[in-house]
Structure 1
């Protein structure tokens, strides 16, 4: 079962100019105008904007508008965490756990992921639940997976968390099959969604 959550990347609105800058940078990134996005995000990163730091991490990881540089990706994600954005923890975890980044440090990846879970960070909760459901890199643990998904769904209205809970009830994963409860969770999924999770944008 592969679960990815939708996560509104956080950033501090210091001034209206900064707000305009992040919007312009986001729009440029989404239309794949990477040169413009890169310039805008670099300016914002110097002001310690955590969204800019996180997306710069992704751009360097994927080689979007710049040569691919995993070390720079790590540096930007680490700085985002240092500046108070717990979302960077799940991005770092994804980079160390995924073969795409070429790092493959399971211990370090799980350490970042567990720290994110302890802090109640949305992406970390869903990613850890996903690993526990599959029994990949961690022991299979349906009860803990259920608890993490439930927390993510109730605290953040997470779409993948609600879908995951529905699947657990539908297919009897650590819970008795219960079509009514499965349907309840499926119906709780909103028709609209927010920005994609950092790790999913990064493709890791």
Structure 2
């Protein structure tokens, strides 16, 4: 005798399938909340997951000024987003370039780039040595709430006119938006530390489809539960 498949059974099966699909599509993340990575540099030949067509590539200008509003350094954040050919998810590559110190001013070096807006997306981080740039981050730190990534150049600071390599933040995201915040930290050699903030940088955003399917499945299960006829005693 075959088991009876009720609408509630199908709804619960749909929920389980959605959860399984979401879990299997997630990319393994070596940097979790509060984690630290030590990138050594890679190329598209060595790691094809980090290669793919560019989706967006704006330049976002910034200035570093001291406490008296004196200009110390200017530059651009190249806010590139690419799509991985191998996996089909997004790679974020915020690169510091076009760095110019003020002529006759103090020597300035960049020691850190922080980007806020990664949420709880799964990520893997390296930097590309087969592209433009001169310096890669020695460490990459993820905040305890998972939202921020800090690229540290303390051991090998970026001295203008040198530029950073493209950091490659491989994610499980399939969509992005310019809603993040970048903070560039620079220090005057033998002096103070100063920052510049850029609003509206590219960061991953959640793909709503899976969540909508899960919500629909839960709603269907609840509806079936309410409509299930009572059995006679």
Which TM bucket (shorter chain)?
under 0.3
The TM-score with structure 2 as length reference comes to: 0.21
The TM-score with structure 1 as length reference comes to: 0.23
Larger strand proportion of the pair: 2
